[in-house]
Amino acid sequence: MNRYLRDKKPWQAFKTFAILFSFTVNLVLLIVLLVIAPLVLPIVNDIAKPIVGGLNSSFVDMNEATIRRTIDVSDTIPVVLTVPLSTTTSVVVVEDVPLVNVPAKFTLPNGGGEINGTVTLNLPVDLQLPVQLSLQVPISETLPVQLAVDAVIPLDETELGVPFNRLQSIFAPLDALLGRLPANGQELYDRIIGRVNQPDTPEPVEAATE
């Protein structure tokens, strides 16, 4: 018995069983995959891919979309300020303006000298008089405002941007994964056969250094 154990025959038997069992399981899984794949792949291609791809594209478009609308503004703005006014203008006399005992200087002709005195007269109606205005004009008014403002708001800058980014991060990898699946059973078979027939790449051997 000790010699039997020393020869490791149980271990050899276990390894042989494990190899056969692993090969059998892989073969069964391969057969099941080849049988089920033609039934599953059309469902994936015709239903899952369009739905997931459409949702992913919609979330991308929504994240890049903008909200455009015209906002009607109706309000009043108080205006309180002082405006300096300095100008030369003409004023029109609207009624006779009496001038009584206005100092005047009379110059006599031919060098006769000057006489200081007073005059009394009326400025007639519609007489235009040039005047210089220099005023501080106070203004206190309320102005009505009626505007139509065009607003463009990027959707990703609103509160909706966060959930759309989260949904896009979920569906984008899933869409990429479905896009890498074989389109039909023949493509699946070709991939499996190509993987089986692909020779193992030998590991590079490092040159021995003396």
- Domain enclosing residue 100, as ranges: 2-108+115-197
Whether the predicted model's global pTM rises above the 0.85 cut: no
Q: Is residue 202 part of a domain?
A: no
Give the per-residue pLDDT at 122.
Answer: 85
| Total of domains in the chain | 1
Q: Is residue 204 part of a domain?
A: no
- Using the predicted structure, report yes or no on whether residue 128 has a pLDDT greater than 80: yes
Q: Is residue 23 part of a domain?
A: yes
Q: Is residue 205 part of a domain?
A: no
- Using the predicted structure, report yes or no on whether residue 1 has a pLDDT greater than 50: no
Give the per-residue pLDDT at 209.
Answer: 42
Give the per-residue pLDDT at 5.
Answer: 46
Give the per-residue pLDDT at 178.
Answer: 74
Q: Higher pLDDT residue, 158 or 188?
A: 158
| Residue 3 Ramachandran class (φ > 0 left, ψ -120 to 50 alpha, else beta) | alpha
Give the per-residue pLDDT at 34.
Answer: 60
Among residues of the chain, what percentage have pLDDT more than 70? 70
Query: What is the per-residue pLDDT across 151-160, written as a single tens digit (0 to 9) for each?
Result: 888 888 888 7
Q: How confident is the model at residue 11 (pLDDT cuts 50, 70, 90)?
A: low
Q: Is residue 154 part of a domain?
A: yes
Q: How confident is the model at residue 183 (pLDDT cuts 50, 70, 90)?
A: low
- Using the predicted structure, report yes or no on whether residue 112 has a pLDDT greater than 80: no
Q: Is residue 49 part of a domain?
A: yes
Q: Is residue 173 part of a domain?
A: yes
Query: What is the per-residue pLDDT across 39-89, written as a single tens digit (0 to 9) for each?
Result: 666 666 666 777 778 788 887 888 788 888 888 888 898 989 898 988 898
Q: Is residue 203 part of a domain?
A: no
